[in-house]
Amino acid sequence: QKDYGNKTGGYVMRPICFFRWQDFTFSKAFGKITLPPPPPSSRPPPLQRQQPSAGDRAKKTDNNSRKFSVGAIVALAVLTLIALIIISGLLAWKFRVFCWRRKSFTEVELNQTGITTVRIRKYSFETIKTATDTFSERNKLGRGGFGEVYKGVLPDKRKVAVKRLFRRSRQGEKEFKNEVVVVAKLQHKNLVRILGFSVKGDEKILVYEFVPNKSLDFFLFDPTNQGQLDWTTRYKIIGGIGRGILYLHQDSPLKVIHRDLKVDNILLEDDMNPKIADFGMAKICGMDQTTENTSRVAGTEGYMAPEYMELGQFSVKSDVYSFGVLVLEIVCGKRNRSFLPSGLNLVTHAWRLWRDGTPLQLLDTTIADSCPSGEVTRC
């Protein structure tokens, strides 16, 4: 140990080492000593991502484009195939319907009317059975003097009214053909249009357009539905029936006498446009004829003119008489038979009121306060 002037220190010497210590800084004792570098880390340095070259980028883009093009082509091919299948199916269905319609046409001749041929559809009886679900009761629309009427759906999805004539009906083969030919020739917005017919043995079928709103009696004589027939609607119905009769008598290619006009034979469309139906007893007249006789009086009591009912004489006036009874029923809202218990029919009762100067007493009470009296009186 040595004293270095107020500082303490010392050293030890040996052959192979020298050790020195003191309590002050060594002046330039270790100036040439350098620290060794730190030992290498066991974790490898992160690899730097090599930037792709322009050629590599172009090659990758080309591969992606090829993959997209192949996918688009496959998808387009699948969609095209599906579209072709759908279009082919529609065309096949249309072709079948066209062939069915074309094969269903037939020609019916009725020489005495001046008609040489009339083209109408002849349906197979099997088609009609399928359309009506074998004349199911749930498709039954009504029953008349000559047959029952059913709702049907044809193969082309059209709704129709199918009239199945009674096998023991008084209507014979000739009358059946008359109805088919006559109605097929008549085209008017106030007449039910016939679409065709079917004959198989004793089975005789008439196919009409479907009128959805039932017949006039359903509204006129039913208290729950009567409110839908205000005076404006009734007046419209009267005018439509009149125009239909005028067409039958005067403006049609043939002069046709219906012979069974009644409220049940007036069908109504959705807008209450009336259509005259059931030409089962229509008689074809020559254009120069005004009166004919028949030994077979057919019609509905209360609507038949006296000369027709008693003598079998009918003319256009017979239909005019029936139309008058229809108008009276529409005005008063009651059936012509409802006056029978008092010993009067509707025509006689109306005539007495007219003669007494009180025709408005006949008016339906549900419309009495909402209709012009002058218009009602003219009817």
260 is catalytic: yes
Domain CATH code at residue 178: 3.30.200.20
In a domain, 342, yes or no: yes
Q: Do 313 and 183 share a domain, yes or no? A: no
Whether 334 contacts 346, CB under 8 Å: yes
Range of the domain at 202: 105-209
In a domain, 189, yes or no: yes
DSSP-assigned beta bridge partners for residue 194: 208
Q: How far apart are CA 278 and CA 260, in angstroms?
A: 8
Catalytic residue among 260, 278, 319, 364: 260
In a domain, 25, yes or no: no
User: Looking up tokens 């339906």, which residue turns up?
Assistant: 364
Q: Do 351 and 370 share a domain, yes or no? A: yes
Q: How far apart are CA 116 and CA 314, in angstroms?
A: 26
Asked which of 209, 243, 263 is the last residue of a domain, the reply is 209
Tens-binned pLDDT, residue by residue, of the chain (379 aa):
545 455 567 777 776 776 777 766 655 555 555 555 666 655 655 555 555 565 555 555 555 555 557 777 888 888 888 999 999 888 887 777 666 555 544 444 444 444 445 567 889 999 999 999 999 999 998 887 678 899 999 998 999 999 998 876 555 666 667 667 777 888 899 999 888 888 887 888 989 999 988 899 999 998 888 888 999 999 999 999 999 999 999 988 778 888 889 999 999 999 999 999 887 555 544 434 455 666 556 678 888 888 888 887 878 898 999 999 999 999 999 888 776 556 678 888 888 889 998 888 888 888 888 788 888 888 7
Q: How many domains does the chain have?
A: 2
- List of E strands, 136-270: 140-143, 147-153, 159-165, 194-200, 203-209, 255-257, 266-268
* Residue 236 counted as an annotated binding residue: no
Domain CATH code at residue 285: 1.10.510.10
Query: In angstroms, what CA-CA distances link 220 with 112, 217, 226, 278, 368?
Result: 40, 5, 5, 19, 15
